[in-house]
Structure 1
Amino acid sequence: MTRWDNLHERYFNYLATLSFDKAKELLEKDGNKMNNDFVQYFHMLVQFERSYHNFGFVVGPKGNLSNIKKDKSLSQCYSDLHMSLIEGQTNNKPSNMTQATVDETKEINYLQQLNAGLITFLSIRTSLMKLYEQISSAVKRNEHNVRLENYLSETTSISQIDMSSLNIPVLNPIRYLLKHEIDCLLLLIQSYVYICDYQYMNGISTLHHMHCILKEWNDNIENQQNTNHRFTLSNSSPLNFFKSPTKPALYTFYFKFHELLVAKFTLYFTDTLIEYGGQDAKIPMGKTNPEFSARIAQFYRRSNVEWITLILHTTKQQINSSQTIPITESNSNQSLPSMNDDRPYQIIFSYPNKPNSTDEIVQQIITKVSINHDMLISGEKVFYSGDANQSKTYFLQNIDPRITLVLVFASHRQERDTTITNFLNELLDLLRGSRQLLYFKNASK
């Protein structure tokens, strides 16, 4: 123990539970009792972390960064603080430890460990912000077709960064804070990839794991932080979609995206879940994806569409399979009792009901998907097939690399029918998570 342990422990607990006002009050009241070399950094870290969890690195403004130049991004602020600690680590090495007392030696060793731990913390924070900024750039280029699998490799690398320097008692709270965020980010992208790849066991396992991490993160905040001390978004913030009186914006983003992935999973694996869980599974499944089912049912009533189907390309190579860690050694398709590997295309969802695989309409749909596969694969455009001389009209849209949405009408429909195109765009954005990713569009340059 050193004379600073208790104060530092309280400070980092406040920081980890996002009690930024309490952390600031502690510094103002007892900062003179702390080591002078770190107090200025602690003040900065309160400001930076408050802004970080309010997405200051994405949407701006950076928050109450009163001592920071206005032209600096939050990422630059963290980088500067990171470099200051590295320089301090180099310049403040004790010249003669042999003459120090036992207590002085303990304090010197403690401060060195604290400095090293904070360097690691800031390095990881900076890496996370760079990744978020990459996603932001992708959303600004094309908000409707952002492929999260493109960020799996970098997220995996961040998750493998050595955090052992944070394994000292006073830094444990912020180590857990970092770990919760990194684990959620990795599990979110892994779940996203597994669902896009139509991998049932891996998908459901990672979704459950992410649920457990989110619960730990949430419990840590709620058990240790009074709601009066949580930050709130301003009324003008573009993140009001995520506004909650009791949850930080960063946590809320992951929570909402997890909800979306669960809904998407139940939609893609409806038949499998019913086959495993029986008809009783329909009630809890309906609660996970009410937005999908409500929009589909409403569109069916309004548009007189004959079929709304999702087609799986069963033989298409999986995406980024080398970068995901499978939960089971067996091929994911083998775990699906309803999967037939002999057919390259299969209907995995259909509304108002599922036709038999031998029905003529099924063969017509699959033929359309197969013939136009190369055009559909980019996911950018809707394929339209219909004219006044045809008895049916088809709209095809690639959702994920292996999943295609097909609408079939029993009569001629115009290619630019707004009722149809609006539904396609809405369902596409929901299934791809574009709505959740929209907040990245406001990232500062």
Structure 2
Amino acid sequence: MEFELNNIDTDTRDHNIMEKEDEFLHTYFNQVSQLCYEKAKEHVEKAKEPKGVATPWNTFLHHLQQLIIAEKSYIEIGFLQNKHKSFLRKDNSLRSVYETMRNDFKKLEDNSKPAVGDNRVHRGCINIIQFLNARISLIEIYEKIYGMTSNKHFQYNEIASHIESVIQTHLEGFSDISMTPIKAVFCLEGEILEKLFKALSELQKLQFLSSLTLIHAAHTRLIAWENKIQPREVWKLGIFKNNPVPALFQWIQKLKSAVLSKFSLYFHDILAKQTTSSDMKYLCSKLQQDYYQKMIAFLKKYDASSVILMSDNEVNCDITDYESFPIIVSYPPRNIPRHNMVLKMVYETSHELTSGDKIIYKFSSQEQSTCILTTVEPNIYLVIVFESKKTEKDTFINNFIVDLCTNLNCTKILSSLKSPSK
């Protein structure tokens, strides 16, 4: 009976200790997920055992301090910066730092198995290793996203599928209650990226409702993430004026705004039917890019006849029915001078348009008009018509086209991962 009572006392004591350590790690990861890195550092310092004592727990706490430094770099988009790798110098990229930490936690896990060591450390290491694997997977995603910028036409669906796979792979990982705060932020970040790239993929297919739903889903998750970074009251009061929203969060916000701006152009005609022209103009002016007004400004400044964004759906030289003309958006709206000539030009240059990154000038001597064509996306073309002869030497026209296409493809946003600006 005495033996049984002793066992009960031991189990109760171990349970209390475990609760204490769960609480310690929960507080730690809550502070890290809220970007309160100094508080997390102080929290770890207080938990250290007497100096000079080399225990698994102290080693564990030392690794947690290293994790704070890595997470601080990660949220400021440090994962694509300062890569130095040469014969005399090892790779010190942030990805390499996380991989080194993973190895350190793995060694500590092996040395602190319940049978021979510290169970609290062993359990903590297992969960943190799973988190580090998830973090490395997200870094790989950002590397792929940046790598997309070397191609003219992006396969957004491939990135979206990869992100979805990463989320599913790590969904069951680091599920300990102490990891709940950092798990929540990981899921939000992954889901926001997934929704935005799925939205870009749906925009390529000109799917209105699914694009809108995905953008809204990304927006609500961004708000949830911002609330987890700091309470909204803190941002409103401006207490953290020297601690602005971190670079990674800003970048994702900009990406969402770019996707929304693109949506507003591709479905301008549909949206315009839902409100007055003045309200539509006002709402678009609040966007990151008001593409429609840019089209109007260009047309008026350079005396173009029309600026058209069109799909290649059913494009062929036999179409003569105006209503069948596959216009996405245009200015003047749905009033295309020489629309048969435009359609013929698109058909004749379709191979050139799909085979490379080109701006094609086509002059019709019969119509005395110039058609300038380029590919925005694999199935979407930008067409500008002038009632005069224009040549490839016109840099103002070329600059407008390059700028419009680059922004619609989100190239500037994606490439800014390499050198983010506040």
**Residue 435 (str. 1) matches residue 412 (str. 2):** yes
Quote how far apart the aligned CAs of 1:278 are.
6.4
2:189 corresponds, among 181, 184, 193, to: 181
Tell me how far apart the structure 1 counterparts of residues 205 and 383 of structure 2 sit (CA, whole Å): 18
Identity %: 25
Q: For 1:9-408, what aligned pairs fall within 5 Å after superposition? A: 9-32=26-49, 35-60=57-82, 71-95=91-115, 108=119, 110-139=120-149, 141-142=150-151, 145-223=153-231, 246-276=244-274, 282=280, 283-288=282-287, 290-314=289-313, 343=324, 346-355=326-335, 361-378=338-355, 380-386=357-363, 391-408=368-385
Cα 1:299/1:73, change in 2 over 3 Å: same
Whichever residue aligns with residue 329 of structure 2, its letter is: F
Judge conservation of contact 1:18–1:230 (CA < 8 Å) in 2: no
Quote how far apart the aligned CAs of 1:201 are.
1.2
Cα 1:9/1:231, change in 2 over 3 Å: farther
The match for 1:330 is none
Gaps of 5+ in 1: 63-68, 98-106, 233-244, 317-339
Structure exhibiting the larger radius of gyration computed from Cα positions: 2
Judge conservation of contact 1:17–1:225 (CA < 8 Å) in 2: no
Judge conservation of contact 1:152–1:186 (CA < 8 Å) in 2: yes
Quote how far apart the aligned CAs of 1:299 are.
1.3
Cα 1:389/1:154, change in 2 over 3 Å: same
Whichever residue aligns with residue 95 of structure 1, its letter is: A
The match for 1:237 is none
- Paired residues, what number? 385
TM-score in terms of structure 2 length: 0.82
| 1:174-217 deviation line (CA, Å, top 9, x unaligned) | 00110111001111110110111101111011011001100100
Judge conservation of contact 1:188–1:258 (CA < 8 Å) in 2: yes
Judge conservation of contact 2:376–2:408 (CA < 8 Å) in 1: yes
Tell me how far apart the structure 1 counterparts of residues 123 and 344 of structure 2 sit (CA, whole Å): 64
TM-score in terms of structure 1 length: 0.78
Q: Using CA pairs under 8 Å that are at least 6 residues apart, name the structure with larger relative contact order, 1 or 2.
A: 1
Cα 1:28/1:95, change in 2 over 3 Å: closer
Tell me how far apart the structure 2 counterparts of residues 7 and 96 of structure 1 sit (CA, whole Å): 23
Judge conservation of contact 2:153–2:377 (CA < 8 Å) in 1: no
Cα 1:200/1:223, change in 2 over 3 Å: same
Cα 1:306/1:151, change in 2 over 3 Å: same
Quote how far apart the aligned CAs of 1:220 are.
1.2
| 1:83-127 deviation line (CA, Å, top 9, x unaligned) | 232333334222279xxxxxxxxx82x544422221111001111
Q: In angstroms, what is the RMSD of aligned CA positions?
A: 3.1
